[in-house]
Structure 1
Amino acid sequence: MYPSLVSGGGRREARLCAVTGGRGFMARHLVAALLRSGDWRVRITDLGPEAALSPAEDDGLLGAALQDGRAAYVSVDVCELAQLTKALEGVHTVFHTASADHTKNNFQLHYKVNVEGTKNVIEACNTCKVKKLIYTSSSGVVFDGVHGLFAVDESTPYPDKFPDAYTETKAEAEKLVIKANGINELLTCCIRPGSIFGPGDTIVPILVSYGGMMIIIGDGKNCDDFVYVENVVHGHLCAEKTLSTKDGANRSGGKAYFITNLEPVNLWDFVYMVLGELGYKSRFRLRIPSYLVKPITCLLDWSYNNIFSLYGMRQPGMLTSASIKYATLNRTFNCNSAAEQLGYKPIVPLKEGVKMTTEFYKWSRT
């Protein structure tokens, strides 16, 4: 039995939620926030046979919650409906964050996990009479890799073509979640984060791997909407809270919302800010025109798809034709709908988020 929690002088039992893909980057922060709130018991699902906590997690909030029953870990593959249905028994709200690795441009893999897996999540929610489903989508669902995006809102349509398998299948999954709203009394909402960064991300290690060298691809004038991971978590919680009221459910059920830091920034200035916080003071910047890089990445794409993948070799994430499109085009998003309808407001400013991210990286290396 899970313990009852005390709040405001009255006793109540915390609701049970599930976080699919719960050992992923953003999901770890989401699980921690849910536990800190005291409002939730959390069932964490992921592919691994066990949670495999880091020493810091084992000694911290998550380790304690797993010990006292406020959290539980269940090994689940979202592509296996029977496993998923069993894991969602008794669950009030599902935060569906599970997805295929975005650095692997394998359409079959992404379709199986992102689309078929999401179909299974919806079916399991209906079978288990789950009340709310909050889906972690992507701002990339409106990006075609050809045209830049500047302060676009949710009225922007899905493109006819996508730059990669990840965003194409995330868009298909998002459509499924939106369509599922109101069926069998399930309420749904989709969160579209900008480029997520934060403690434990892959951005800092990649930059460090280049020795602090500033390599600018293209004209260096493109902007992006980086969003600190705790703000993405906050967006999910705002969506859940909104769906908890009748007016909020009528207003936001079956909708998708962009979530950003409300601080669009030149992509390369952001990189320079991160490098500065890491202690790289050199102002050396190498600028490479995109027309020189694109033929190389196209060759690497072909080599990976036809040769490297046969031997289990992985194409570097920064050296794909899709990644060049993300690195050279504007990608900023209007967050007004989330502010007005979900009550969302960033809780961590951009510069503060960068500082905490780099401090965590330096601490983790000691």
Structure 2
Amino acid sequence: MGSLHDGGSNNGGRQEEARRRWCAVTGGRGFMARHLVAALLRSGEWHVRVTDLAADIVLGPGENEGLLGDALRDGRAVYASADVCNLDQLIKAFEGVDVVFHTAAADSSKNNLQLHYKVNTEGTKNVIDACMICKVKRLIHTSSIAVVFDGVHGLLNVNESLPYPDKFPDAYAQTKAEAEKLVMKANGINDLLTCCIRPASIFGPGDIVIPTLDQCGKTHFIFGDGKNRDDFVYVENVVHGHICADKTLSTMEGAKTSGGKAYFITNMEPMNMWDFLYMLHEELGYKRLFKIRIPLVVIKPVSYLVEWAYNVLLHHYGFCPPQVLTPTRIKYLTLHRTFSCNRAAEELGYKPIVTLMDGLKIAVKSYIRLRNTNSY
């Protein structure tokens, strides 16, 4: 009786294993991608192939004993070193995969058109080609709200009918728009279904916003008049948007409705940008903040000087530091940028699963815990 029961259990396990499918996440060690990989593993529906540039995966604080470490040990997750600029590596990484979540992109803080075109545009074309060669069923592409931003005009509650601008403020926005066009155009070719997710300003555990604010201590800087509104999105809501898109494309009706489309994903709680940063600052424990407002007439000349110094370092010394304060960055920090998620709600069934305030508290708590253990 015992042997029969054991055999039945093993058979059930094999059936469950057969039902579980493979997906791949490009740029899988990035900020948002790590949360996406974790969500896919938690769902129990997927084996996950994590792809990134490094030759081998290096687990961060808590990962070895956590979900990802367990999944790598028992085979529910595997790591594949793959550069999106290398088609052969992508083909190998996508073999046997049903769905690809393409999150890999060049560092947005480096305004280098050659780099961004190679990674964001040509890299995305390689991802599409590899999907078609490997007969991948669905491609969910991580785009950006930046694809509709011209750096001149503010955006208030705009929807997906807003066209791409004639001119983009930086290389990142330009090449992400080019990549998005490629992904949408590929929908329906060789049975590949595609969808683009345009997240707002992402925050959450592992982001760079909170450590930057922490470094400012009790000083809260405000650029310009401080009245611009922005849309923020907690990282788990971005992940949820990607999963909603995949589930929608997996149905016949959903594929007809959403295939080849792009969707804004936000927390649906637009607010004054500087108030949001102030809330984060306070949550970090800085209760009595010194507010320093810097007028645009002062900050703009400084930003042009910083950009000049950056270009000198890049072209004469080959050194490419992050562009912390540039004319382009000032545009992102001083203009309205809010977006409607109505289409995502109606067609993908998306709604935020974590509120802005809850996400803020979770993110800061996570950062403080890691900071206190010198793990950040």
TM range (shorter): over 0.9
Q: Is the 8 A contact 2:183 2:194 kept in 1?
A: yes
Q: Give matches, 1:90-169, under 5 Å.
A: 90-169=96-175
Alignment gaps of 5+ in structure 2: 1-9
**Alignment partner of 1:57: what SS?**
coil
AA at the equivalent of 1:358: V
Bigger mean CA offset, 184-193 vs 304-313: 304-313
Whether 1:25 and 2:31 are equivalent positions in the alignment is yes
Identity %: 65
AA at the equivalent of 1:298: Y
Separation of aligned partners in 2, 1:33 and 1:241? 14
**1:176-230 Cα deviation digits (max 9, x unpaired):** 0000000000000000000000000000111112223110000000011010000
Alignment correspondent of 1:201: 207
Separation of aligned partners in 2, 1:4 and 1:262? 45
**Alignment partner of 1:307: what SS?**
helix
Q: Is the 8 A contact 1:235 1:259 kept in 2?
A: yes
Q: Is the 8 A contact 2:210 2:364 kept in 1?
A: yes
323, 346, 351: which one aligns with 2:329:
323
Q: Is the 8 A contact 1:318 1:324 kept in 2?
A: no
Tell me how many residue pairs correspond in the alignment: 363
Separation of aligned partners in 1, 2:209 and 2:66? 25
332, 340, 347: which one aligns with 2:353:
347
Separation of aligned partners in 1, 2:315 and 2:213? 25
Shift of 1:13: 2.1
Whether 1:307 and 2:313 are equivalent positions in the alignment is yes
261, 268, 279: which one aligns with 1:262:
268
186, 189, 203: which one aligns with 2:192:
186
**Alignment partner of 2:24: what SS?**
strand
Shift of 1:315: 4.2
Bigger mean CA offset, 209-218 vs 165-174: 209-218
Separation of aligned partners in 2, 1:123 and 1:248? 23
AA at the equivalent of 1:215: F
AA at the equivalent of 1:96: H
Q: Is the 8 A contact 2:313 2:320 kept in 1?
A: no
Q: Is the 8 A contact 2:110 2:322 kept in 1?
A: no
Alignment correspondent of 2:3: none
Relative to structure 1, the CA distance from residue 298 to residue 341 in structure 2 (aligned partners, 3 Å threshold; closer, same or farther) is same
**Alignment partner of 1:156: what SS?**
coil
AA at the equivalent of 1:351: M
Alignment correspondent of 1:210: 216
Root-mean-square deviation (Å) = 1.6
Q: Is the 8 A contact 1:188 1:254 kept in 2?
A: yes
Q: Is the 8 A contact 1:5 1:14 kept in 2?
A: no
Alignment correspondent of 1:50: 56
Bigger mean CA offset, 160-169 vs 303-312: 303-312
Shift of 1:313: 3.8
Separation of aligned partners in 2, 1:10 and 1:210? 50
Alignment correspondent of 1:249: 255
Separation of aligned partners in 1, 2:122 and 2:11? 36
Alignment gaps of 5+ in structure 1: none
Whether 1:227 and 2:233 are equivalent positions in the alignment is yes
Relative to structure 1, the CA distance from residue 258 to residue 31 in structure 2 (aligned partners, 3 Å threshold; closer, same or farther) is same
Q: Is the 8 A contact 2:307 2:323 kept in 1?
A: no
Separation of aligned partners in 1, 2:34 and 2:189? 29
Separation of aligned partners in 1, 2:13 and 2:185? 37
Q: Is the 8 A contact 2:218 2:290 kept in 1?
A: no
Shift of 1:254: 0.1
Separation of aligned partners in 1, 2:19 and 2:276? 43
Output the TM-score relative to the length of structure 1: 0.96
Shift of 1:308: 4.8
**1:106-138 Cα deviation digits (max 9, x unpaired):** 000000000000000000000000000000000
Shift of 1:318: 2.9
Larger radius of gyration: 2
Shift of 1:295: 1.4
Relative to structure 1, the CA distance from residue 79 to residue 10 in structure 2 (aligned partners, 3 Å threshold; closer, same or farther) is closer
Shift of 1:296: 1.4
Bigger mean CA offset, 284-293 vs 17-26: 284-293
Whether 1:365 and 2:371 are equivalent positions in the alignment is yes
Relative to structure 1, the CA distance from residue 188 to residue 284 in structure 2 (aligned partners, 3 Å threshold; closer, same or farther) is same
